Every structure is written in C-alpha cells, then in structure tokens.
C-alpha cells in the first residue's frame, strides 16, 4: 500500500504529479420565467370553460407569439396573463412568484409588472381624457404623479405623438394614433412583461411597423419579455423568438411548456376562399416587409433580432382614418 503524506488524508500520487483540481463552482441558477401558466382553466360565468388545462411559459427576455383562430380563447389567455381575469383552476407565476390576487386585488408589485395593449383602443380608452392624461393614468393611479410629465413626454416622442395630438381626446384622433397612446400607457410603468393582444390587427402596415419598433426598442433597453397574440403568422414569426399554435379546448404541454393544439382547417373550399387567402397573404407580407424596413432589417424570419426604435411619426389619417365626432366607448 502507498504511504500517505504527512498531513494528508489520502494516498500519495506519483512523483511529480500536480495536486487534484478543486471542485468546480456551482453554476448560477437560471432566472425564473417571466410568465408561467400551469394547468390553467378559465371561462366566463357558468358556461363551459374557454381554456382547459393550458400550460404556457414565457422566459425572461423571450418573445413568444400565440396564434390561433378567432374564438379559441387567445384573448382570455392574455387577460389571465395580465391579471385581469381569474382562472377557475391552475396557477399563474410572474417571475417565479405565484400570483396572489387579480385586478385591483393583485399586489402592486405584480400588478405593475405587466403591461397590456388591447386590440381595440377605443374600448380601452376613457373618452374624457386627453391622450397625455391617458398615457399618464397608471402613474396617477399608483401615486407617482410627479413622474408623469417627464415620462409621458419621453414615451410620446418614442411612439410618434406630438404636443398637438397629446392635447386631443380619443374621438379627435385616428385609431392608429390612439393605439400609439395605448402602447405608451402600457410601457409607462416599465413592465417586465408586455402582453400585446392583437395590438396591430386594426392598423395599417406603416403604423404596425412603428409600434413593433417601439416595443423592440423597449425590450432591448429593459430586457422585458413579450407575449404577442394575433392572427398574422408572417409578422409574428419575424417578430418573436417562438410561435405557439392554439386551437382552443384542451392545452397539450410540449417540451418547453407551450400550447400545441391542432388548428381546424378552413371550411371554405370555393374559389372565393382562395382569393381571400391570397389577399390575406399579400397583406401580411406587406406588413412584415414594412416592419423589416422600420427596424432596419433587424427582424429575421426566426424573430431573433432586436432592432432599434423608429418613432414613426403619425398623421391624422393613419390606422383607419380619423373620426369626425364622438362615438360610444367603454372603459376596460
């Protein structure tokens, strides 16, 4: 048997050998995902659930696209993620912390960690407020009114709203201009997760490109995660890191916690359906091309690019045209 060296607890090695390497330091734990939905079931009233056992994960700094047909529950999922709709079952985690309340009952730290942009800005805007006050509303609601002027001015410039537009009310601006204000409102509290529920569905290609550029500039600066809900697969695949298909009903977990449900095939088989599909494809391609142009080509087909912002100055005719007079509105 080999003799042990004095003061050592093990056998002596061969002459001239180097001492054993120290154990490797443990690797730093990975950051928890920005959003994790685990087995979520959600619906309205006593009706059948819109979502059943849905599991979805959005990693820290990740951009995930959720696509699917109308009525499959995408917007309900977005509202659950934004703490606006309490699910019937399952759990929701933000930054690894379980959600402990919903809507105004959610803790302020969790409630302000998520920004949400709705599809229809006119249903999400108080018609009595100017655009400047609309953008600053979350700061006033959270006792931070002193920050409103500086933060509102900074975001207004980023989204392309000048002082004249900021002084107007929703019925005095176009859909595109109002959606710019709604995006600025969603960013004003510096959220760690941004949920865009078909944010660009009502907008033209140039306005879509401008808003995507603003979102990506904010994400590049802050490291925020993104859940983008929509129908435009061409745009979303170029914009996001990962695309998740959702067809409604039961969610099926895959290796990364995404929802993978077969999407029903279109029922129309006539020539008109082919024409509609061709027109939709052309529109989607034009929008994606405009996004690439506005971001300097920073969005690739895999969506891994992180472009710089383009302020995209708006005009009174963008995004569906201006409105001559007031119309019914609903606050959400």
Tokens 């006792």, residue located: 143
Task: Report the alpha-carbon distance of residue 133 to residue 126 in Å, rounded.
Answer: 10
Annotate 284-312 with b (16+ C-beta within 10 A) or e (fewer). Answer: beebbebbbebbeebbeeebebebebbbb
How confident is the model at residue 246, as a pLDDT? 81
Return the structure tokens found at 282.
């052309």
How confident is the model at residue 47, as a pLDDT? 83
How confident is the model at residue 313, as a pLDDT? 38
| Residues 54, 251 contacting (CB under 8 angstroms) | yes
How confident is the model at residue 272, as a pLDDT? 43
In the chain, which stretches have pLDDT less than 70? 1-29, 247-332
């Amino acid at each position: 048997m080999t003799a042990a060296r004095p003061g050592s607890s093990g056998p002596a090695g061969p002459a001239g050998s180097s001492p054993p390497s120290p154990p490797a330091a443990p690797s730093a734990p990975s950051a928890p995902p920005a959003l994790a939905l685990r087995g979520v079931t959600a619906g309205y009233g006593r009706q059948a659930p819109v979502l059943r056992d849905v599991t979805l994960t959005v990693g820290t700094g990740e951009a995930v696209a959720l696509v699917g047909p109308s009525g499959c529950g995408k917007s309900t999922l977005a509202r659950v993620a934004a703490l606006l709709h309490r699910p019937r079952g399952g759990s929701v985690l933000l930054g690894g912390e379980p959600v402990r309340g919903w809507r105004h009952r959610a803790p302020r730290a969790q409630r302000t960690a998520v920004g949400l942009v709705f599809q229809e800005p006119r249903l999400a805007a108080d018609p009595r407020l100017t655009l400047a006050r609309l953008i600053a509303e979350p700061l006033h609601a959270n006792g931070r009114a002193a920050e409103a002027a500086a933060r509102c001015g900074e975001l207004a410039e980023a989204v392309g709203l000048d002082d004249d537009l900021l002084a107007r009310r929703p019925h005095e601006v176009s859909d595109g201009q109002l959606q710019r204000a709604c995006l600025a409102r969603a960013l004003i509290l510096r959220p760690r997760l941004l949920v865009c529920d078909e944010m660009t569905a009502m907008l033209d290609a140039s306005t879509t490109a401008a808003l995507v550029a603003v979102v990506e500039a904010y994400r590049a600066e802050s490291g925020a995660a993104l859940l983008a809900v929509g129908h435009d697969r061409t745009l979303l695949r170029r914009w996001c890191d990962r695309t998740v298909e959702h067809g409604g009903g039961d969610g099926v977990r895959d290796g990364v916690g995404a929802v993978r449900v077969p999407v029903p095939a279109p029922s129309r088989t006539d020539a008109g359906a082919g024409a509609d599909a061709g027109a939709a494809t052309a529109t989607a391609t034009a929008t994606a091309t405009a996004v690439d142009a506005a971001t300097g080509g920073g969005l690739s087909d895999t969506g891994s690019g992180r472009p710089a912002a383009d302020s995209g100055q708006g005009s009174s005719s963008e995004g569906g045209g201006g409105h001559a007079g007031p119309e019914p509105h609903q606050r959400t």
